[in-house]
Structure formats: structure tokens, C-alpha cells
Chain A
Amino acid sequence: MTKSECLRIFDVAQRAAPPGGVDGIELMIDSHTSALTRFANNTIHQNVAERDRMVSVRVLIGQRTARATTNLTDDQSIRRVVEEAIALTRVAEPSEHLLPLPSPEEAGEISEPPSRFDRATAETNPERRALAVKEAIAIVEGAGATAAGIFETGAATEALINSRGLLRYHEETSARFSITATAADSSGWAKVSAVSATAIDAAALASTAAEKARLSSSPREAAPGRYTVVLEPAAVLDLVGQIFGDFSATAIHDQRSFLTGRPEGPLFGPNIGIADDVRHPLQSGAPFDGEGVARQTLKMVDAGRIREIPYSRSSARRAGVLATGHGFPLPNETGEMPANIVIAGGGASLEQMIAAVDHGILVTRLWYIREVDPFEKIMTGMTRDGTFLIDGGKPVCGLRNFRFNQSVVEMLRNVVAMSPAVRASGEETFDMVVPAMTVEGFNLTEVTKF
């Protein structure tokens, strides 16, 4: 949806609010088109496209607020959703913490990140996706394995407009390709995501997946225990990514964050640095939050110490600091969260990291990660699609997959080597910029049957 279409909808909505009847009105207007070509058993088996829009209206009446949402954008539907938002707001409980809508000045100026819209990606047709998939299937099939995966392309717009004159608008595209090669008793996986489909090299990803499946064939079973593990970036992403919901002023205030009550001093190793940076060239997403506040770059962890955390406008006022532009749309229970994680990497290549391990395990990817302990951040999950024994600095054979029960806090104290950070994409959390990591004493607690 164009900016002018969004402004037209806002105008209809504003006129639908009775004069003097509301103290503020805010609209979030989203639209997206996306298409996904999915393949399995060396054939395209699901192939889909969708388009949808969303107009979400929030009104303020005194210290009350509520939200009503529709995907219908005709004038009558807009007027109806405004009436619904007003009706809900009138019966909401007043909140002493509710703030007036932010003015443009309060929301702050946005220093725009690099363009995240690529027209060619937005216009990728099903034939192009099918031909790339066909090429990838041929590579995996040629290696004696079976291919499954996706090629997805899409475009989205996001606008936030309020009655104090704030107007935010963002558009971006996305492309994803992932592939699993399954052999008789092994499998391999690779995935890339980017703003532009030009970053997708389907043939290279297929080759990586097929090679991992080949190298991990006839897997051995290793005893559970504490191992030195080399986690590829997707594995780091999916595991470390589980802790960032706790980097929230509201979660800490609510005493449900693992950062609640932690003593001053280093929490992680001195080599750990974590930022939230929407302007990072490998990142994506809008440079404003759910109230339209400009996202600030935060140095959340520096040399292992917690330095800066995200604040919404409400939590910032409670703490007497400035909002950082990480708030969720209101009303909500959770406050805020970082959304553009960048973990500082090191200088070693993945090959060098493996070469430095005398006896350990190389992990491609992790799966079904869930929180066992909320304060120590013990996570459980499985290795998947390419787990290898490292012996004498070399991957020597595939291993049956492990269950782990590992504290992420402890893990980030035990990182002994890192690769440069790359944009990584997994299946357990959102995309981030992370390095591969060598972690000592990683707790592998059980072995499964394959």
C-alpha cells in the first residue's frame, strides 16, 4: 500500500472519530504480498501466494485505550473499525501508565537504514522460483539424496500515523531459500535469507545440504556428556535468540526476566558483545516501533556486561530515561524487545575453528528449543541435519542427534572462538546477525535413534 493510500485511510478514520470524543487516534496500516514455492521428495508439492492488508486502530479516551483491527479498507469498514475501537476503549480500565500519543518531536527523527526494497524481488514470478527449485533438486538428486525446502519471496509495507501528526512509513522485500537433503540414514541443511532474491544461490545451498548429508552418513552414536561444540551460525542464532525477550525493561520490572536482580559485573565472557541495530546493513525491519518511536542502536552487552536495555515510552517514563524505540503496539503486557540483534564475531573461519578442536562436535542446526529454566536460561532441544564428530581438528563422521540441556548464560561464558558475524536464518527465532561459536562444556544429555 502506498503512503498516499495510507493517508487516505487515516483521513477516513480520523473523520469517523467524533470531535471531542477521543483524545487521540493512531493507525497501523500494513500490507503484504508473499509467495512460497515448497518442494519435497524432489518435486514441488505446495506452491502458494497470498496478499492481505491490515488496518489497526487505537484510540485514547482519557487514561483508557484499546485496539480494533480489520483487513477491509473500504470507507464503511474503516468507520466501523473506528467505532469498534471507541466502544472497546470506553469500557477499558483506566491506566495510570498510559501516555498521550507521541508527537513527531517526541518520536524522534529517523536516520534511515539502507533501502530494504528491491523491486525485482517483489516481482519474482512463480516460474523463476520453480526453475531455481528445479536446479536445486537436480543437484541433491544427483548426489543420491532427496530434496525438500522452500523458495519464498515477498514485499511488505508498514505505516504508523497518529492524530498528533506523526507519520511513519516503511517498505521492504524479503527472500528466503532453505533446503534439506535426506539420505538413507543422514541429512544436511542450508538456508539463506536476504532483502533481495539476488542473494539466493540455490545451487550452492543445495550442494551444501547434499554434502552434509553425504558426510554424515552411517552415523555413529557418541555418549552424552559435556563436549566442546562448534555451533554454525544458524545453531547459535536459534539458541542464543531465545534470551532476547528478557532484554526488556518491562520484563525486568515484572521480575520474569533472567536479568532481574542480577549482580553488577560481567554476566557473559569478555568476548561477548551484543547490539540491537536496525541500521546494520545485514538487518531488516522498520526503523520505528509500535508507537512510531525511532529505533535507537543499543549496545546491550559490552565485554560480557549488560549495558543498555530497550525501553518503550511507558517503561522509560517509569525508569526516568528516554524511550529507545523498541515498544510493541499498545495495549500489551510485554512492553518491548530488541528486534535487530547483532552479535559481534571474531576473526576465525569455520574451518579454523574446527581445526582448533581436538575432540568435539560440529552442529549444523538445532531444533525444537524450549525453555527449561527461566532464570538460568536452560534450554532444551535437539541437534538436526548434520551433526559431526570432530577428532584431531577434522570432522571425521556423522553422529546420531543429541538432546541438549544447556544454560545460555553459562554458554556465553564458555565461548572460546568465533567467526565473523553473518546474517543467519533458522526456524526457532527471527533472523539475526551472528557468528559461528566454539563453546566448551556444552551439555549434551541424551541421544536419539537417528
Chain B
Amino acid sequence: MKDVALKALDAALARGVSYADVRLEHIRERSLGTKNGQTGRLGSSESTGAGIRVIANGAWGFAATDDLSAEGISTAAEQAVAIAEASALAAKAPVQLAPEEKHQRTWVSPCAIDPFSVSIEEQLGLLLAVDAELRRNPGVTLAETNMSFTRTRQVFVSSLGSVIDQTRTTSQTGFEAWAFKGTEIQKRSYPTSFGGQAQLKGYELVRELALLDHAPRIAEEAVALHSADQCPEGELPLILESSQLGLQIHESIGHPIELDRVLGSEANYAGMSFLTVDKLNTLRYGSDIVNAVADARLDHGPGLGTFAFDDEGVPAQRIDVIREGQFTGYLASRETAPVIGLTRSNGAMRAMAWSRLPLIRMTNVSLLPGPHALEEVFDVDRGIYMETNRSWSIDDKRYNFQFGCEIGWEIRNGKRTRMLRNPTYSGITTEFWNSCERIANRDHWTLWGVPNCGKGQPEQVMGTGHGASPARFRKVRIGGGYGK
């Protein structure tokens, strides 16, 4: 792979560009699923290709090809340069990049059990056992399970002299129990919804999650939701379970701090950000107990946003995003870093695959744990506890959000009491984070994976990581999703 990548780099440099980099990748995937006791999907795939990014005439060009023959590489390099020259026709100023060092390194993500070496029979057998366990509850009308694995080997070379060989293995698994009755459809998921937990791990993730052990409770809750009371409307203390809080972090901290959004790059599609550059080090983002980081290093954990180098060849880093409530940092690239006075990119450029251009993407954007035992987080006279995301929506500047969860519970005098169905909550980003009054300790902290984050045109779906422990927020608007 390295030889082909270097040939592609030479082909671009031979055309007189001022900068070039090449990402050559081989992506291998396996995906399995069951539905009501039958194999739902069973497949494998592989994809190989190269993306060539250049600066010519002071403007960007990018071309990607699956044709890795000498002719195919040459054609793609020529196309990238022609595209850059066309970009220059409508350019305002030449592209400038923050300096970066040359890196030559090989890195393989930790993977205790190679998921591709575990037999399909074992993997499918586990999913079918979970599926059967869910359907033992007669109120469950639909059971679904899933498991998927991806291994990406990437060779990155650049005109700075970098040669970086990275291999990342990710795994994802989960299941859902649906219950239809009368005029309502209810659903419970484990360990979280929309495909379950996803991390930078091998098959050990599947074993750690003990899927089968949780199936009876999930089935029972899905059915019990039909007898539960509708979540009330009003302003109440809200306690969020950690996977839901992870998604809250994703939408209302992770996206607003993407500097390309802030600067207008996504104005036509994913939107902009309320977090304009004048707010750096001046905005009170959250209460004093709110501390958030963006951390791509393995030290932070095996997240979907963990790597050794980003797709511009910049090493993984940790940045303080919110420190004791104060907004302190953006996610940046080599092109955008100088705009906010950084002398170097903080390494957040990632592409979905070889065929797409790297963009600023979340790494692992996490809320650091607080000091509290779980009982202290729940210690309110009356509040609502919500678990597991069902819907999520936020405006295109990331102010107004609304989330729905699969299940809620009323908290009375610090204790979980009646179950509530169809819980939703909404708010304004900074008001919400400033209302954060308790965060549970590290014993309850989980690094969740969001595997389906969309951004860019053409759209790119990216995996991001979000660490969180349950937290309490005072006076949050509850129930607006069902408001009349």
C-alpha cells in the first residue's frame, strides 16, 4: 500500500502543486442482524481506493479513485490538479496551512479479540439467543439484534514527508424490543438505541456488554411502557442517563465547537454555530462544574474518535473545550487553526473513507466526571429521569434542541418511582449547560459511540465518541414534544 500511496503523491507533485497528501485505504466490514428469530442481514464488504488532495494555484482540489493502477493513479492526480485550478477561478485568497511536522509511524489500535476471527456461527448464535430471549415475553411484537465490525488500514503520505500507517478496528452491537398495542408503538434498546454501543475495540466489546443478561429487562420495559403514564409537561429537574447525555454533548457541545462551522463552511448544509470566535475564553458555556474535553488520544479511552493521527497527518491531541464552565477551545484543522491564533492544528480532520475529503469532525468530545455518587445525583424532591435516546433535533446554529427518550421515571425524594412513557425535553444550549448542578463520578462514566454523525457535501457519516456519567439539570422544559 505504501508504494502505491507514494506513487500517487509523486504523480501529484510532478504537476507542480504546492502541497499534496494521499490517503490510501482498505476497509473491511462484517454485518449481521436478526429479526424475530430469522437472519435479518448477513454480509461482508471490502473497499479499496485512494484520495489525492492538492493545493495548486493557491486553491484546493481533491480526486478519489478505486483504480489503483499506474494509469488510474495518474488520472486521479491530474484530475485533482485540474479541480484545484478550477477552484482558483472563484478564490478570494490563497489557502494557507498551519505548519506541521513530518511524521513516520505505524499504529494499530488495541484489539484483544479479532472480530473477523470469531466464527459467524458464534456471532449469529449469540444474536439469535438474544432475539429468542426477547420474544419469550409475549408482549414483544418485534425483536431485532445487530452486530457489525470494521477494520480500516490507512496509509497517509504527504509532501511534508509524512508516512503514517494506521489500522483501526471498531465493533458495534445492540438489540431492540418493540411492543405494538392499540395505537402506540413502544421500543426499548440495549445498551443504547440506533445500533447499540460502538467503540474502538474488537470482539471483546460484545462480550463485555453481556447482551443476553439484559434481554429480559429490556423486553419487560418495552411492554410495561404501554401501561405507564404519559410524561408530564412542565419545568422540572432532569436527570439524564449517560448515553442520552452523550448525545446531548454531541449535539450541543461537539458540533458548535467545529471551527469550520463557526467560520461558515457548512452554512449551506449542516449549518453554522452560535459559538462565534469572539466567544472564545469569554462565554460562560456551563455552570462551574462543567468540564469538557475533545480528546483523540488512546489515554481517553477506546472511542470512535480515538486515533494516532488525523487525516491531515496531525497527531492526536486533547483540548480543553469547557473548563469550569468557561468556553476555551474549538476543534480545528491546519487551514482554520491560524484564524483563532493557534500555531498548529489540534488534529480534528477526518474523512469517512478514501473517497471523501477530510473535514473537521468531533474526536471524543466528553464531559468529565464529577465527584458525586449516583444517589446524590438523584437527590431531588421531584424530578424526571430519562434513558436511551428516541429522537434528537437541534437548530442549525445549535441553540434550540429537543430530545425524546425511550423511557422516563419520576423521581420523588431521591427515589425512582413511576415509569413514564414518551418523555421529551427541550432547551437552549447555554441555558441548559448552565443549569447543570450534579455530575456522577467516574464509576458511572462510559465512553459512548455515535456512529452515524452526518456532515459535509457530499455527505460523510462519521463515528464520534462521547464520555459521560449521569448528570442533573435544574428546571428543564419537559414534555414539549407532545405539547398541543
Interchain CA distance A53-B47 in the complex, whole Å: 9
Interchain CA distance A179-B269 in the complex, whole Å: 9
Q: Which residues of A contact B183 (CB under 8 A)?
A: 261, 375-376
A51-B66, A69-B44 given; A152·B120 CB < 8 A? no
Determine if B108 is an interface residue (Cβ-Cβ < 8 Å).
no
Interchain CA distance A447-B484 in the complex, whole Å: 15
Q: Is the CB of B42 within 8 A of A49?
A: no
Q: Which residues of B contact A38 (CB under 8 A)?
A: 268, 457
Please, what's the 1-or-0 string for A364-397, where 1 marks a CB less than 8 Å from any CB in chain B?
A: 0001111111111010111010000000000000
Q: How far is the CB of B79 from chain A (nearest CB, A)?
A: 6
**Closest residue of A by beta carbon distance from B424:** A372
**Closest residue of A by beta carbon distance from B430:** A449
Determine if A105 is an interface residue (Cβ-Cβ < 8 Å).
no
Q: Is the CB of B62 within 8 A of A182?
A: no
Binds B, one of A88-96, A193-201, A345-353: A88-96
Determine if B239 is an interface residue (Cβ-Cβ < 8 Å).
no
Determine if B391 is an interface residue (Cβ-Cβ < 8 Å).
yes
A:40-93 near B, CB below 8 Å: 40-53, 56, 65-72, 81, 84, 88-89, 91-93
Q: Is the CB of B45 within 8 A of A378?
A: no
Q: Is the CB of B49 within 8 A of A71?
A: yes
Determine if A247 is an interface residue (Cβ-Cβ < 8 Å).
no
A:20-50 near B, CB below 8 Å: 34-50
Interchain CA distance A69-B44 in the complex, whole Å: 6
Q: Is the CB of A40 within 8 A of B265?
A: yes
Interchain CA distance A339-B142 in the complex, whole Å: 25
Interchain CA distance A125-B357 in the complex, whole Å: 19
Q: Is the CB of B62 within 8 A of A47?
A: yes
Q: Is the CB of A42 within 8 A of B481?
A: no
Q: How far is the CB of B196 from chain A (nearest CB, A)?
A: 15
Q: How far is the CB of B118 from chain A (nearest CB, A)?
A: 12
Interchain CA distance A261-B184 in the complex, whole Å: 10
Q: Is the CB of B48 within 8 A of A71?
A: yes
Please, what's the 1-or-0 string for A401-445, where 1 marks a CB less than 8 Å from any CB in chain B?
A: 101010000000000000000000001000000000000000101
Interchain CA distance A375-B266 in the complex, whole Å: 33
Q: Which residues of A contact B92 (CB under 8 A)?
A: 41-43
A368-B393, A449-B274 given; A150·B457 CB < 8 A? yes
Q: Is the CB of B43 within 8 A of A45?
A: no
Q: Which residues of B contact A260 (CB under 8 A)?
A: 180, 185
Determine if A16 is an interface residue (Cβ-Cβ < 8 Å).
no
Q: Is the CB of A446 within 8 A of B185?
A: no
A88-B120, A375-B184 given; A41·B263 CB < 8 A? yes
A40-B268, A255-B141 given; A403·B45 CB < 8 A? no
Q: Is the CB of A47 within 8 A of B60?
A: yes
Among A56, A88, A187, the residue within 8 A (CB) of B42 is: A88
Interchain CA distance A56-B178 in the complex, whole Å: 31
Interchain CA distance A375-B394 in the complex, whole Å: 22
Q: Which residues of A contact B51 (CB under 8 A)?
A: 50
Interchain CA distance A134-B92 in the complex, whole Å: 11
Q: Is the CB of A49 within 8 A of B79?
A: yes
Q: How far is the CB of B333 from chain A (nearest CB, A)?
A: 11
**Closest residue of B by beta carbon distance from A80:** B46
Determine if B356 is an interface residue (Cβ-Cβ < 8 Å).
yes
Q: How far is the CB of B121 from chain A (nearest CB, A)?
A: 5
Among A44, A258, A369, the residue within 8 A (CB) of B59 is: A44
Q: Which residues of A contact B484 (CB under 8 A)?
A: 443
Please, what's the 1-or-0 string for B385-406, where 1 marks a CB less than 8 Å from any CB in chain A?
A: 0000011111111011010100
Q: How far is the CB of B456 from chain A (nearest CB, A)?
A: 8
Q: Is the CB of A92 within 8 A of B39?
A: yes
Interchain CA distance A288-B295 in the complex, whole Å: 47
Q: Which residues of B contact A264 (CB under 8 A)?
A: none
Among B46, B90, B119, B393, the residue within 8 A (CB) of A134 is: B90
B:1-29 near A, CB below 8 Å: none
Q: Is the CB of B268 within 8 A of A179?
A: yes
Determine if A100 is an interface residue (Cβ-Cβ < 8 Å).
no
Interchain CA distance A61-B60 in the complex, whole Å: 50
Q: Is the CB of B394 within 8 A of A36?
A: no
Q: How far is the CB of A139 from chain B (nearest CB, A)?
A: 13
Q: Is the CB of B481 within 8 A of A378?
A: yes
A93-B38, A148-B264, A449-B274 given; A68·B45 CB < 8 A? yes
Determine if A325 is an interface residue (Cβ-Cβ < 8 Å).
no
Determine if B318 is an interface residue (Cβ-Cβ < 8 Å).
no
Q: How far is the CB of A271 from chain B (nearest CB, A)?
A: 24
A42-B92, A71-B47, A256-B185 given; A333·B40 CB < 8 A? yes
Q: Is the CB of A367 within 8 A of B90?
A: no
A84-B44, A375-B183 given; A131·B89 CB < 8 A? yes
Q: Is the CB of B83 within 8 A of A49?
A: yes
Q: Is the CB of A180 within 8 A of B268?
A: yes
Q: How far is the CB of B266 from chain A (nearest CB, A)?
A: 8
Q: How far is the CB of A90 from chain B (nearest CB, A)?
A: 9
Determine if A116 is an interface residue (Cβ-Cβ < 8 Å).
no
Q: Is the CB of B402 within 8 A of A88?
A: no
Most buried by B among A41, A48, A125, A368: A48
Q: How far is the CB of B151 from chain A (nearest CB, A)?
A: 15
Q: How far is the CB of B337 from chain A (nearest CB, A)?
A: 15
Please, what's the 1-or-0 string for B132-152, where 1 marks a CB less than 8 Å from any CB in chain A?
A: 000000000110100000000
Determine if B369 is an interface residue (Cβ-Cβ < 8 Å).
no
Determine if A97 is an interface residue (Cβ-Cβ < 8 Å).
yes
Among B39, B390, B396, the residue within 8 A (CB) of A93 is: B39
Q: Is the CB of A49 within 8 A of B391?
A: no
B:70-127 near A, CB below 8 Å: 79-80, 82-87, 89-93, 119-121, 124
Interchain CA distance A31-B64 in the complex, whole Å: 14
Determine if A356 is an interface residue (Cβ-Cβ < 8 Å).
no
Q: Is the CB of B268 within 8 A of A149?
A: yes
Determine if A227 is an interface residue (Cβ-Cβ < 8 Å).
no
Q: Is the CB of A47 within 8 A of B84?
A: yes
Interchain CA distance A74-B59 in the complex, whole Å: 35
A48-B62, A53-B66, A372-B482 given; A92·B90 CB < 8 A? no
Please, what's the 1-or-0 string for B148-176, where 1 marks a CB less than 8 Å from any CB in chain A?
A: 00000000000000000000000000000
A137-B90, A405-B480 given; A380·B79 CB < 8 A? no
Q: Which residues of B contact A371 (CB under 8 A)?
A: 391
**Closest residue of A by beta carbon distance from B127:** A93
Q: Is the CB of B144 within 8 A of A333?
A: yes
Interchain CA distance A381-B403 in the complex, whole Å: 11
Q: How far is the CB of B425 from chain A (nearest CB, A)?
A: 12
Q: Is the CB of A332 within 8 A of B41?
A: yes
Interchain CA distance A189-B268 in the complex, whole Å: 8
Q: Which residues of B contact A150 (CB under 8 A)?
A: 268-269, 457
Q: Which residues of B contact A382 (CB under 8 A)?
A: 393-396, 400
Q: Is the CB of A130 within 8 A of B90?
A: yes
Q: What are 10 A-B residue pairs whose CB atoms fall within 8 Å in the complex?
A: A47-B62, A69-B46, A150-B269, A254-B35, A255-B141, A256-B178, A372-B424, A445-B483, A446-B400, A450-B399
Residues of B within 8 A of A (CB): 33, 35-36, 38-49, 51, 59-67, 79-80, 82-87, 89-93, 119-121, 124, 128, 141-142, 144, 178, 180, 182-185, 187, 263-269, 271-272, 274, 355-357, 390-397, 399-400, 402, 404, 422, 424, 426, 428, 457-458, 480-484
> Which 8 residue pairs spanning A and B have beta carbons closest together?
A126-B86, A255-B180, A333-B40, A148-B267, A448-B400, A69-B45, A67-B43, A130-B86
Given contacts A126-B86, A405-B482, 7 further A-B contacts (CB under 8 A): A38-B457, A44-B91, A47-B86, A126-B61, A129-B86, A372-B422, A380-B402
